[in-house]
Structure 1
Amino acid sequence: MEINFLKTILDNREGCLIVAENLPKYQQLKEFIIRYIVENNLNAHDPLFTENELAAKFNMSRHTVRKALDELENEGWIYRKQGVGTFCADRSVIKKIDDKNIAVITTYVSDYIFPRIIKGIDQVLTKEGYTILLYNTNNKIEKEIDILENIMTKNIKGVIIEPTKSALPHINIDYFEQLKRRGIPYIFINSYYEELKPSYIIQDDEGGGFVVTEHLIQLGHRNILGIFKSDDNQGLNRYKGYIRALRQYGIKIREDNIVWYTTEEMRTKPQEMVKKIFEGTGDKPSAIVCYNDQIAMWVIEALRNLGLTVPNDVSIVGFDDSDYAVLSDIKLTTIVHPKEEMGRQAAKALFKLMEMGNKAFENPITICVKPELKIRTSAKSIEAKEVKV
């Protein structure tokens, strides 16, 4: 690689420090250089930018540039030869500052089922002397990209990741190819990006959707509303299970009995559609299959605002057996999500992948947890004609 080429890169990287503008200038410069090394797969001894080039391009003092380069050299990313230049260090001998770090990326951190999943992961990692670098995407694709770019600049041993909007075509697949090239194994939890054919641990969401719907059918319900999330694979698969149960029991599938919502619509559309359906004319659903427990509780609130009670007027079932399922006066019938156990299994599987080296990408570990129905009081039996399978 020629210095002139590096100068061209600098000339075309306007605004490249903006991603970290809340950090001190020297730290921003450090992250830029690390990211440049990682993204371009630089080899040991490849030349890097000179102090003069960096100072001129980013309008920084020589003191600031030198501080950034000093820290990068101390951390083992670069080395300098006086009068010759700055060069990429041999990555195989980089100081093991982050030698026992595992990146854990979830869609959310502080609510719903995620704290208990993280707890299960931490139980295994801490026991083995590893530290969690915890990130959350808030289920935003751009945030996931930022996080993946960030972890590329760190020495990590592996990644456990819950994918963002897994039902959508993704623009971040290249980042996982970078992890593969660097020999860093990863495992998905709850869902996965099918294009990668990766290691994963998931629930049988289609089977779970079938089980909760079948439960309502066996209680005598025939007019069953389904509410599903459209931008992740869990929602699509739970919908498939719902449809399969209706078909298996010979119940007519009604398009107006299916409500779809996206991440951005989560707090509004399910409740709005329930209000519209139950205030309308015609035959009302006697039961509702909800995408998860959180949606179920919001739907119960919407029904209460209409003067309806659960389960006397409408039966409700959820998914995940979260705290929502038992904290309310309505105890929710739901599919069990083995949160901590799935976290532990994900961490143990990652260790196996780490031991496999490059073969981890050729022989992925795939685990699918079968559904278990937890019956409580949110669904009740009604009179109906017998339905034969």
Structure 2
Amino acid sequence: MTQQPKYKKLVEWVKAQVESSKLGPGEKLNSENELTEMFQISRQTVRRAIEELEMDGIVERRQGSGTYISNVFKRKTENTMNIAVVTTYVDDYIFPSIIKGMEEVISEAGYTLQIAFTHNSVEKEYSVIKNILDRNMADGIIVEPTKSGIPNPNVELYNEIIAKDIPTIFFNSYYPEIKLPYVVLDDKATGYKAAKHLIDAGHERIAGIFKSDDRQGHLRYAGYVQALSEEGLRLYDENVLWIDTEDLRNLSMESKRVLKRLKDCTGCVCYNDLAAQEVVKICSKHEIKIPEELSLVSIDNSDLAANCKIPLTSVSHPKIELGKMAASNLIQMIRGEIAQASYAFSPELTERKSVKRIN
């Protein structure tokens, strides 16, 4: 009986490590010296084994760095039929509708949705993503970025996702420094549309309330600025209020700060319906009539906009459709059926009673 060549033992060992998930895509293989010691074989024999593994597409050599498990090698045990959804919030505002859209597509495709939320905390985001990676618990990941308006401290985790070739897509926003696809509302066009609606109604001095720690806020501000600039209207720094996650839900407690920014304005673009609702509370408390004295355009067109004390004119968020698109594109990524998974929805505006025409 012919004895198995020594290099084959190493080849089979590496394959077994990958099949059992002890080594995953993007992970570094032991050095030549370590493998020589472990298997009591020569370095030449180690190199022969590495060459065969490389030809089989299981490993790849990186000059000056070492040998790594190939990103394109798929483990047989990889298919969990689970899709992990990581969202900032889940139980209110527009989030249930987005999740509903995802769940509809995911379940129809035969997958199970596993959801976790970060409460817009980068620490929580780290623990959630780390847990998904460590437990190899999903075939793909749908992530809503946490505080996407500021540098993300969890970049290395996302680089690990890319290195392991785990299909992943962002929704609602994205981290520009991380090269992963995303499905979003076109936030710059949204800010532009909100401001342009006020301009078309004759308003010239228009305030803006934007979120500083989410990328959506920066892009909506950019659209607002563009609309003012195109019409030759002046942007007043003192009429722009930047808020963060902690400020948003308690904005009505900051009446003095808000009213200072609204001074001399006849219109205001609000980051979302939550912010607009808080402005309505402040105006009511201080006897400022909407829309007679201050017109508002908000963003998201949630139930809050329709049910607000003064029904809000609001730019619509695609909600269910965005959720469906994110899930559908991820499933196509898992199946290798899509080349361009990013998509931006064009904004549409729903008119109600919060804008007064003054021209």
TM-score, structure 1 as length reference = 0.71
Q: Give the alignment of 1:29-68 within 5 angstroms.
A: 41=27
Residue type at the aligned position of 2:330: L
User: Are the equivalent residues in 1 in contact too, given 2:26–2:164 (CA < 8 A)?
Assistant: no
The answer to whether 1:318 aligns with 2:302 is no
1:288 offset after TM fit, Å? 1.1
Kept after mapping to 1: 8 A contact 2:148/2:175:
yes
Contact 1:168 1:232 in 2 (8 A): yes
User: 1:345 and 2:328 equivalent?
Assistant: no
Matches within 5 A, 1:255-274: 255-268=237-250, 270-271=251-252
1:222 paired residue number: 204
- Do the aligned residues in 2 keep the contact of 1:275 with 1:306 (CA within 8 Å)? no
Amino acid at match of 2:295: S
Aligned-partner residue type, residue 88 of structure 2 = T
Q: Write the distance in 2 (CA, Å) between the matches of 1:245 and 1:326.
A: 25
Counterpart of 1:319 in 2: which secondary structure? strand
1:1-389, aligned counterparts within 5 Å?
41=27, 92=75, 94=77, 99-152=80-133, 153-268=135-250, 270-271=251-252, 275-276=256-257, 278=259, 284-356=264-336, 363-383=339-359
User: Distance between the aligned counterparts of 1:201 and 1:283, measured in 2?
Assistant: 37
TM-superposed deviation, 1:39: 11
Task: Evaluate the alpha carbon distance shift between residue 93 and residue 187 of structure 1 in structure 2; reply closer, same or farther with a 3 A threshold.
Answer: closer
Residue 279 to residue 169, structure 1, CA distance change in 2 (3 Å):
closer
For the residue of structure 2 that corresponds to 1:194, the secondary structure is coil
Indicate if the aligned counterparts of 2:81 and 2:138 stay in contact, CA closer than 8 A: yes
Contact map agreement 1:278 1:284 (CA 8 A) in 2: no
Deviation at 1:156, TM superposition (A): 0.9
For structure 2, list consecutive stretches of 5 or more residues without a partner in the other structure.
1-19, 35-73
Deviation (angstroms), 1:277:
5.6
Give the RMSD, CA atoms, in angstroms.
Answer: 2.8
Normalised to the residue count of structure 2, the TM-score between the two structures is: 0.77
Equivalenced residue count is 299
For the Cα contact (< 8 Å) 1:277–1:284, is it kept in 2? no
Distance 1:35 1:149 in 2: 16
* CA distance in 2: counterparts of 1:276 and 1:368, whole angstroms: 34
Distance 1:271 1:38 in 2: 50
Unmatched 5+ stretches in structure 1: 1-33, 47-90, 384-389
Deviation at 1:354, TM superposition (A): 0.8
Which one is further off, 136-145 or 310-319?
A: 310-319
Q: Matches of 1:279 and 1:159 in 2, distance apart?
A: 43
CA distance in 2, matches of 1:204, 1:148: 26
Q: CA deviation at 1:350?
A: 0.4
Distance 2:317 2:345 in 1: 9
SS across alignment from 1:122 = helix
